[in-house]
Amino acid sequence: MRIKITERFLWDLYKLAKKKDDIMNELWSSKWHGFKDPLEMIFPDIWGMKDYLWEKYKKQNRDKARKKNFSRMINYLKERGYLNVRDLKNRKAVIITPKGREKVLKTELKFGKREKRKDKKWQMIFFDIPEKRRKDRDRLRKYLGYLGYKKLQQSVWVCPYNVLKETQQIIKNYKLERFIRLLLVEEVKI
């Protein structure tokens, strides 16, 4: 399965932001009170890195129209609501929106590398999410499928891959902790 260039760009931008997270946490102070989450704001200097990102994607197609296509891609991502560009102290800041983070998460889960657990144990998840949170429940099932989980029952899934961190990230992102139990089991008879 091939990954779209827009998804790859969002994913690369997100990974760059995650690397900057440690620095951002140190620099975080009350002057940034307009942002709810350090990951919501990427350093304003990142806009200056578009040339670096452009060079990375230029290798795929070396024609002159590529630079124009790169600008179109940024505009496409902005129009779809994945990116937002704001002025902060007379500088441009590129912000991955919540919708963009959702897209990044989906892309990362679909195309991320998975390794089978060396101890041959299985990750098991079972959940009882109320009907009023049906969208979250359906989204969880979709993401579990992306991670390589297999359904034993509607609310019981198992996976032979080492995807505990990714599973916990999904649970935390959608605030489902109180509805879900994670287990590590020796064997599964399917």
Give domain limits for the chain.
5-104, 113-185
Res 30: pLDDT:
44
Task: List, for residues 158-170, the tens digit of each pLDDT value.
Answer: 999 988 888 998 8
| Whether the predicted model's global pTM rises above the 0.85 cut | no
**How many Å apart are CA 112 and CA 177, to the nearest integer?**
23
At 56, the amino acid letter reads: K
CB atoms within 10 A of CB 87: 9
**How many Å apart are CA 159 and CA 161, to the nearest integer?**
6
Res 131: pLDDT:
93
| Helix (H), strand (E) at residue 123 | strand 122-127
Q: What are phi and psi of 61, to 5 degrees?
A: -155, 110
Res 129: pLDDT:
92
- Give the orientation angle of helix 5-27 with respect to helix 50-58, to 10 degrees: 150
pLDDT by residue for the chain (190 residues), tens digit each? 566 777 777 777 777 766 665 555 555 444 444 544 444 454 445 545 556 666 666 655 555 566 677 777 778 888 888 888 777 777 777 788 888 888 887 787 777 778 888 888 999 999 999 999 999 999 999 999 988 899 998 899 999 998 888 899 889 888 999 999 999 888 777 6
The answer as to CATH 3.20.20.210 being correct for domain 113-185 is: no
140 by Cβ neighbours in 10 Å (0-12 / 13-18 / 19+) ranks as buried
Q: Pick from 170, 100, 93: which is nearest to 129 by CA?
A: 170
Res 39: pLDDT:
42
